């Protein structure tokens, strides 16, 4: 299911970028949508890696407290890097922040599509 959501997110982000290019007829909007999609992809990777680390097995010699502290620092470091990437995209590359927000929203749309897809196949008594 995670692979389908990732695929649908990329598809929705591409459709949003194409619609932005056709509607606004400039390069800034589709680039902003793609940049937002890249940010949500990186965020998904960061969260997925952190969840996998928290539920995974701990290596020999590591105490649970020390390991949890390391993963917590790693989680916040990844999100700090995402914040710096968003800053660089908006301020330095001067991409449209609303278009970036639309690209970030593509994950929510993909999850909603997956929810509707799963309800459609479920049989109720």
For 5-27, what is each residue's pLDDT tens digit? 888 889 999 999 999 889 988 88
Query: Any idea how long the chain is?
Result: 125
Contact of 123 with 77, CB cutoff 8 Å: no
Closest CA to 107 of 36, 51, 46, 55: 36
For residue 35, CA distances in Å to 10, 73, 119 come to 12, 25, 31
Q: What pLDDT does residue 63 have?
A: 53
Q: What pLDDT does residue 58 have?
A: 52
Q: Which two tokens stand for residue 34?
A: 């793609």
Segments of the chain with pLDDT less than 70: 52-68, 121-125
Q: Work out the number of other CB atoms within 10 angstroms of the CB of residue 43.
A: 17
CA 39, CA 52: separation in Å to the nearest integer? Answer: 20
Measured in whole angstroms, how far is the alpha carbon of residue 77 from the centre of its chain?
Answer: 16
């Amino acid at each position: 299911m995670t692979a389908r959501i990732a695929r649908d997110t990329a598809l929705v982000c591409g459709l949003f970028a194409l619609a932005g290019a056709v509607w606004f007829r400039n390069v800034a909007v589709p680039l902003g949508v793609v940049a937002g999609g890249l940010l949500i992809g990186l965020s998904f990777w960061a969260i997925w890696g952190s969840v996998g680390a928290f539920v995974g097995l701990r290596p020999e010699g590591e105490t649970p407290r020390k390991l949890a502290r390391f993963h917590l620092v790693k989680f916040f470091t990844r999100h700090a890097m995402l914040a710096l990437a968003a800053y660089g995209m908006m301020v330095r590359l001067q991409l449209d922040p609303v278009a970036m927000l639309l690209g970030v929203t593509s994950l929510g749309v993909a999850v909603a599509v997956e929810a509707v897809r799963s309800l459609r196949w479920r049989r109720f008594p």
